Amino acid sequence: MASKTQSRQARTSSSGSRSSGGGSAFSWGGSNNAGVLIGAAVAGAAVGLAANVGRKMLVQLGAGGVTGDWFDALKAEHEATLAIFDKIEATRDDQATTRSHLLTKLKYALTKHAHQEEAVVYPALRQANLTHDADALNAEHGYVKTYLYELENMANDSPEWLARIRDFRAMLQEHMRMEEDEVFPAFRNQMNEKQNAKLTATMNKEGFKMA
């Protein structure tokens, strides 16, 4: 293993060998200002990262997420999803681009929502011996993906596309009703405040990854 002195010498000689060249991007010393540039780039990346974290937090905290618990947050996401359906159903057949854009938004909202439920809430349901409900809801998420797949692969400038959207909405509304009116309230009633808070924190962490 090289001593500190040896490795310092090695660095000095390597920086000396490139004195006639443009300088290594990895050099931080002397009159070479690459270090300053790298420093600025790192700072810029940090600012960009902070902005992205801020954006993710806003997405994750959204309506219902700031003061509410996991259940309130999921209900708020259900509402937001139905609002996208409202917009889609208000489009005409000649608004294909708007429909594509709204379908992308719908897919994003549903993918994030399903991830939170599948990675946190449904496993917690199974732990609480609500396995049958968790499995039934999880299977329905498979059909959510099927609807999205079909809608993405159909011509969206036709009445058939909108009819498929309406079928999808009906299926999804029944799924949401099951969660909001039956399964989730029964589950929440089994938990104490601490368990509820822990589930909220765990779910927010997963949602943050997808935000």
In the complex, the residues that contact Fe ion under the rule CB under 5 A are: 117, 179
Nearer to Fe ion, 78 or 99 (CB): 78
Compute CA distances 67 → 61, 63, 64, 80, 136, whole Å. Answer: 9, 9, 6, 17, 29
Nearest distance from C-beta of residue 27 to Fe ion, angstroms: 54
Most distant pair of Cα atoms in the chain: their distance: 77
Nearest distance from C-beta of residue 73 to Fe ion, angstroms: 10
Nearest distance from C-beta of residue 143 to Fe ion, angstroms: 11
Given a contact cutoff of 8 angstroms between Cβ atoms, the answer to whether 151 and 178 are in contact is no
Place of tokens 């036709």: 158
Nearer to Fe ion, 165 or 176 (CB): 176
Nearer to Fe ion, 135 or 160 (CB): 135
Nearer to Fe ion, 137 or 161 (CB): 137
Nearest distance from C-beta of residue 4 to Fe ion, angstroms: 59
Least Cα distance to 151 among 107, 94, 92, 87 occurs for 107
**What is the sign of the dihedral through the CA atoms of 207, 100, 138 and 62?**
positive
Nearer to Fe ion, 147 or 161 (CB): 147
Given a contact cutoff of 8 angstroms between Cβ atoms, the answer to whether 112 and 83 are in contact is no
Nearer to Fe ion, 117 or 206 (CB): 117
Nearest distance from C-beta of residue 191 to Fe ion, angstroms: 18
Q: Which helix (H) or strand (E) holds 184?
A: helix 184-190
Nearest distance from C-beta of residue 111 to Fe ion, angstroms: 12
Q: In whole angstroms, what is the distance from residue 210 CA to residue 207 CA?
A: 5
Q: How many CA atoms lie within 13 A of 98 on its CB side?
A: 13
